[in-house]
Amino acid sequence: MIEVRDLRVSYGGRVVAKVPELDVAPGECVAIVGESGSGKSTTLLALLGLTEGAEVGGRIRVAGVDVTSASPAELRAIRGARVALVMQSPQAALSPTLRLGTLMRRALRLHGVGDAERVMAEAVEAVLLDPAILRRYPHEVSGGQAQRFAIALAIALGAEAILADEPTSALDVTVQAEVVAVLRTLCAERGLALLLVSHDLALVSTIAHRVLVMRAGEVVESGPAGRVLSEPSHPYTRELLEALP
Amino acid sequence: MPRYLIRRLGQALLVMAGVVALTFVITRMVPGDPAVAYAGPKATPEQLAEVRARFGLDDPLWVQLGNYVRDLVTGDWQTSLHTRRPVLEDLYHAFPASLELVGAGLVIAVVAGIPVGVLAARFRGRFPDFSVRLTSMLAVSLPVFWLALALQTVFASNLGWFPVAGEYDSALDTTSPLTLWTNITVVDALITGNWPILTSTLAHLVLPALVVAAYPAGVIAQMVRATLIEEASQDHARLERALGFRETTILTRFALRPALNPVLSLIALVFAYAIVNGFLVEAVFNWPGLGRYAVNAISSSDTPAVAGVTLLVALMYVLANLVVDLLQGVVDPRARAR
Amino acid sequence: MSALPEAAPLRRTLPRVTDRFALAGAVLIALIALAALLAPWLAPHPPDEVDPFAALRPPDAAHWFGTDAAGRDVLTRVLYGGRTSLFIAVTVLAVSATTGVLLGVVAGYAGGWVRDVIMRITDVFLAFPALLLSVALAVVLQPSVTTVIVAIAVTWWPWYARLSASMAASIATRPYVDAARCLGVPAPMIILRHVLPNSLTPVLVQVSLDGGGVILTAAALSYLGLGAQEPTAEWGLMVEQGQSLFTTNWWVVTFPGLAILLTAFAFNVLGEGLRNALDPRRIVK
């Protein structure tokens, strides 16, 4: 689903992210962990060709499309419809003057999904939200609801992969669990590929199959989640683990 | 909302009171003795005393202010020294023509300014952006009276494409007289189906309205560009990009509506500027509005008339701001929640 | 739009002023100011030299911008007019910015009823469009350059008061100001040492943006006959005197008008460039 080789993202000659190898298969969850500024979010955006003003090198294949050489139209066709993005601050990610349903309806029309009303209702129910939420404005819903709505957008558009950038860090602890549960179900039952960026190792340990640890733009360690988190080989990973409560 | 409404209304009333007080101060700043100014230099002391008593000039200042406010509220805005008619009556006749001119100018400004601002934001940092920034800066730097003279000379006097001056061809008053409803000629001609006057007024309106539009169009374009660029860097624009929307769609269908909010408050501000800039335009094009009235009053040192125009425009400005603040609730659902 | 950009102190931000617009505007203003200052040496003729036999000459080698109805050299009077306009602009901006910033900083720092009173007064003045209040004032005073300066300054200071009050209010809550207060530093000292310098950046941008507005307002007042009087060379007055000749003798009106346009444009370009360069939200690499 996602296949990255020798990715290099740089701004004006300064390399901010270097990823030699990153694969995510359908039904698999891969997590990138590291502190802020380690290049993990940049990597995520590079997968959708959304790193404005950056030079991106290497090979990125997402949903069968070569992102580095794709035309703008080809990129727009996979964005949303095949690969969805879930962002950190859920409410800020929703246009403040639009009802949630309006945004979803426009996105469905953009990607030519028919029977919009039924698709919308099903997608919203799949993330355990009341369909009435579609009539609300972003400032009228909670952070957890907004985040689940963002996931519902992915479901409605039939995305095969979700790129989630710190999807829980702006939420309360109890709400975090709900969002994680929804994401895990999508992976396990619908076979979506999930690429998760997080600095929250506790979250990562409950959901990820494999883990990449990044620091200052470099991948310092990678492997199955169980091994990396229980017997880390790199001192930086150990540091991160020790920082856990 | 009601609470916010009451607070905002109270604020507007306070400002209006201040506006009245300031206008009062200005009218009393006339150098020399106002009694002498009224009765003439050869008046006898008895005559002067009578004038003083009649206008309450011997009363303490706060009593005079009280009388001034009472007169204003009861509709006595003094008498124009120039036209010899009550100022309020003059204003009532002149105002609709100004509204017509400024309204037309603002419509042009909005219709031109918003798309041009969107264009600049869409191609930010590139050639279209550069030319829009440059043009809008030129538009706000134009001296209106000079622009009015230049357009009049080139397009009316020399090329003859448009009428030189006036609101419509006055010969039409006899051939197809206009029934007055709102006193706004275009509107009245439209509702009574008076096509000769309508077309004549529209032709007369083009040049002055373009001059009035120049400044607001430039400011609106700059504002739309700046707020759209700001909106396009927000998180929600990133999500919209990640959903596959085109950059142009994001700007026009997602970012423009929140960006219209500052534009709306700008229009209230610009409305007042347009009215005052309209003064100079009206003088050049002999447009029968407040501006021509004010400019005539200025040249004949007609203080009551000038004070009346000043007060009217300032009060309208306060009102326009109030309306815009309330309208923001309609445009931006976040403002309603306040 | 109460959210003001967090402005960094002046000395740290100035080196970043690399916006090409800002540079172009500054160069233009410098050239215009130089031309105005050196007018007595640059001007080809004395400013008041009347020559009835050379009236209304179109531009030629002897009179690059032609001559007016009294036979005076238009180029000379445009150069001298720059002295009047720039003198008005500089004086108005200095007086209104100083008054406005002082009142605004005090209001913003003190808060409470002091702020309320000052801000409500500011609101009243802001309810008048600048040109309108200037016209009203100029009508009751005697028309002259001084009247223009007074009338415009009275209408301009509230903008600076409002701007610097909101800056000062946000600075007054910063930790280093709290620290100074706890150490017992007197309020005037805190205002002078901390609040004032840190509120100046947006004021500076506003001053350069306002230069154009002041030039235009002053020209309009003179055009209405409320400002400079004959024989002073002033651009607005020159347009007024030549307006009836526009169709037959275009140069009498065109050149002073272009001078107003160019000067206002230079200030606007500088201000826009500065705003682009100094507004931290808009710094894009």
Q: B-chain residues within 8 Å CB-CB of A94?
A: 236, 239
Closest by CA to B137, choosing from B227, B259, B229, B219, is: B219
Q: What is the CATH number of the domain that holds A44?
A: 3.40.50.300
Which residue type occupies A29?
A: C
Q: What is the CATH number of the domain that holds B115?
A: 1.10.3720.10
Confidence class for position B330, pLDDT limits 50, 70, 90: low
B207, B155 Cβ separation under 8 angstroms: yes
pLDDT digits (tens, 9 = 90+) for C216-245: 999 888 888 888 888 888 888 888 888 888
A96 to B245: CB separation less than 8 angstroms, yes or no:
no
Partners of chain C (3+ Cβ pairs below 8 A): A, B
* Nearest CB to C220 within list B145, B303, B307: B145
Residue B268 lies in a domain: yes
pLDDT digits (tens, 9 = 90+) for B150-173: 898 888 888 889 888 887 777 777
Neighbouring-strand partners of residue B221: none
Residue B270 lies in a domain: yes
Residue B304 lies in a domain: no
* Separation between Cα atoms, residue A94 and residue A152, nearest integer Å: 13
Q: A-chain residues within 8 Å CB-CB of B244?
A: 76-81, 107, 110-111
A161, A42 Cβ separation under 8 angstroms: no
Q: A-chain residues within 8 Å CB-CB of B263?
A: none
> For the ranges A117-131, A137-151, B45-59, B180-194, which has the lowest average pLDDT?
B45-59
C124 to B22: CB separation less than 8 angstroms, yes or no:
yes
Mean pLDDT over all residues of chain B?
A: 83
Determine the residue among C125, C134, C159, C223 to mutate to test chain B binding: the one whose Cβ has the most chain B Cβ atoms within 10 Å.
C223
pLDDT at B70: 87
Determine the residue among B13, B141, B158 to mutate to test chain C binding: the one whose Cβ has the most chain C Cβ atoms within 10 Å.
B141
C260 to B143: CB separation less than 8 angstroms, yes or no:
yes
pLDDT at B336: 53
Six-digit token string for A13: 């000659």
C139 to B222: CB separation less than 8 angstroms, yes or no:
no
Six-digit token string for A138: 């972003």
Confidence class for position B260, pLDDT limits 50, 70, 90: confident
Q: A-chain residues within 8 Å CB-CB of B232?
A: none
Which residue type occupies B260?
A: L
Q: Does C281 touch chain A (CB under 8 A)?
A: no
pLDDT digits (tens, 9 = 90+) for B285-307: 888 888 888 888 888 778 888 88
Distance from CA of A229 to the nearest CA of B (A): 31
Q: Which domain holds residue A31?
A: 2-242
Higher pLDDT, C278 or B247: B247
C133 to B275: CB separation less than 8 angstroms, yes or no:
no
Distance from CA of B190 to the nearest CA of C (A): 32
- Mean pLDDT over A165-191 rounds to 85
pLDDT digits (tens, 9 = 90+) for B102-145: 999 999 999 999 999 999 988 888 889 889 989 999 999 999 99
Give me the CATH code for the C16-278 domain, please.
1.10.3720.10
Q: Does C120 touch chain A (CB under 8 A)?
A: no
Q: A-chain residues within 8 Å CB-CB of B258?
A: 95-97
* Nearest CB to C261 within list B16, B133, B142: B142
Q: Does B331 touch chain A (CB under 8 A)?
A: yes
Q: How many CB atoms lie within 10 A of CB A162?
A: 24
* Separation between Cα atoms, residue B96 and residue B188, nearest integer Å: 11
pLDDT at C10 > cutoff 90: no
Cα nearest neighbour of B334 on chain A: A139
Residue B328 lies in a domain: no
Residue B50 lies in a domain: no
* Separation between Cα atoms, residue C238 and residue C80, nearest integer Å: 11
Higher pLDDT, A196 or C184: A196
